[in-house]
Amino acid sequence: MAISLRVIGFDDEALVAGIAVDPEKEAFSGGTIGEVFDQLRASPPRQTPFALADGDRVVGFIVAREDAALPVWAERGCMTLNNLRIDTRFQGRGHGKAAIRLAAQWIARERPAVTHVMSSVNVANLAAFHLNLACGLTPTGRIVEGRIGRQRIMIAPIGRLCGDQPGSTSTRSL
The predicted-structure confidence for 2-16, as pLDDT tens digits, reads as follows 899 999 999 999 999
**C-alpha span between 103 and 97 (Å, rounded):** 10
In a domain, 169, yes or no: no
In a domain, 170, yes or no: no
What are the pLDDT digits (tens) for 20-50?
988 888 888 888 999 999 999 998 789 999 9
Q: Are the C-beta atoms of 164 and 91 separated by less than 8 Å? A: no
Residue 167 placed within a domain: no
CATH number of the domain enclosing 125: 3.40.630.30
Assigned domain for 69 exists: yes
In a domain, residue 88? The reply is: yes
Domain extent for 9: 3-162
User: Is 131 a domain residue?
Assistant: yes
3-state secondary structure of 155: strand
Residue 134 located in a structural domain: yes
Q: Quote the CA–CA distance of 137 and 160 in Å, as a whole number.
A: 8
| Model pTM score | 0.89
Instruction: Please give the tally of structural domains in the chain.
Output: 1
Q: What is the pLDDT of residue 1?
A: 58
CA distance 79 to 18: 27
Q: How far apart are CA 43 and CA 123, in angstroms?
A: 25
